[in-house]
Amino acid sequence: MDWDHLRIFLAVARRGQILAAAQALSLNHATVARRLNALEEALGEPLFDRRPSGSTLTEAGERLLAVAERVETEIIGVAEDSRARGESLSGTVRIGAPDGLGTYFLARELGLLQQAHPDLVIELVPLPRTFSLSKREADLAIALDPPEEGRLVVSRLTDYTLGLYAARSYLERCGLPENEEALAAHAVVTGVEDYAYASSLNYASRLTRWSRRQFRCAGVAGQMEAVEAGIGIGILHDFAVRERDALVRVLPEVGFRRSYYLLSHPDTGDLARIALVRRHLARRFREERARFVR
């Protein structure tokens, strides 16, 4: 089977459109369609249900996807082994992570790892979204909820806690709430519910049920800055506020405990550069576990 045809098949499967796959591969749209047709003719059955809105895998396409991903991994592994003989690790590893964790912990940790491996390119994508490892949107991903299905290797990194915080300047201006009901007299800073991409992010209602004065920000970093600027009281990650003297914990009886999970694809987890980053993350979370739980 022609690897070039499989490469095109994978691009279409991951992007859901022939045009998008052609752009990603720097090929002509007609070339991609022609090679895809040749692959289907060779196999004797359609691999995609092609519609104007996009291309979705058929049952035969789903079967081929698993095979094609293993072939891709083997080819990458051979090339990587050849480069690594007598040399330091090289290549790119992309890590998708929640924005709070990425900004306030992973940026430093992964930056230090890259310093130790100058030929390794590490891409940290700290965004409020989920990442598809099967579509190669990332090589590793850190999730808030463990996946319920899919061919993924899942390991629990650590629990973490969150609490209510306010800036000293805000408390001097508006006073300290004595209980949850007293939040009705205060402004609160929360996330945007429509952009909550995981069920474990469902703690904002603890504030909004009391206060009508609300400032909502979809990003964790934005919420942190708003609370520190004295906009209102917000729910923040305990590990992210440890070194911020301007912030004060309020209503300590109100707290939340969640978990981070490390996800990897079973077909790429043994690649040297990805295995290195995975081991580094597991070790650093283990060493810093006390930092994440108040």
- H helices of 44-91, in order, are 59-84
Structure tokens at 8: 């095109």
CATH fold of 3-84, please? Arc Repressor Mutant, subunit A (1.10.10)
Mention every residue, 6+ apart, whose C-beta is less than 8 A from residue 198.
130, 143, 144, 145
pLDDT of residue 103: 93
Q: How far is CA 8 from the centre of its chain?
A: 26
Q: Retrieve residue 3's tokens.
A: 């690897």
Under the banding of pLDDT at 50, 70 and 90, the label for residue 86 is very low
CB neighbour burial string for 19-45, b if at least 16 within 10 angstroms, e if fewer: ebbbeebeeeeeebbebbeebbeebee
Higher pLDDT, 132 or 80: 132
**Residue 236: strand, helix, or coil:** strand
Q: Which among 269, 262, 277, 263 has a CA at the least distance from the CA of 77? A: 269
- pLDDT (average), residues 4-19: 85
Residue 41: phi, psi to the nearest 5?
-65, -40
Identify the CATH number of the domain defined by range 160-257: 3.40.190.10
| Rounded CA separation 70/188 (Å) | 49
Q: How many residues does the chain have?
A: 294
Q: What angle do CA 283, 77, 155 make, to 5 degrees?
A: 30
**Residue ranges of the chain that CATH labels 1.10.10.10:** 3-84
pLDDT tens sequence across 219-241: 899 999 999 999 999 999 999 99
**pLDDT digits 0-9 by tens, 193-228:** 877 777 777 788 888 888 889 999 988 999 999 999
pTM: 0.71
Name the burial class of residue 189, with classes exposed (0-12), middle (13-18) and buried (19+) by CB atoms within 10 angstroms of its CB. Answer: buried
* 166, 233 Cβ separation under 8 angstroms: yes
| Segment 24-56, tens digit of pLDDT | 888 888 888 888 888 888 888 899 888 888 888
91-158+260-292 CATH pick, 3.40.50.300, 3.40.50.2000, 3.30.1490.190, 3.40.190.10: 3.40.190.10
Q: How many CB atoms lie within 10 A of CB 161?
A: 14
- For the beta carbon of residue 159, count every other beta carbon within 10 angstroms: 12
In the chain, which residues fall in CATH 3.40.190.10? 91-158+260-292, 160-257
| Nearest of 235, 242, 278 to residue 257 by alpha carbon | 235
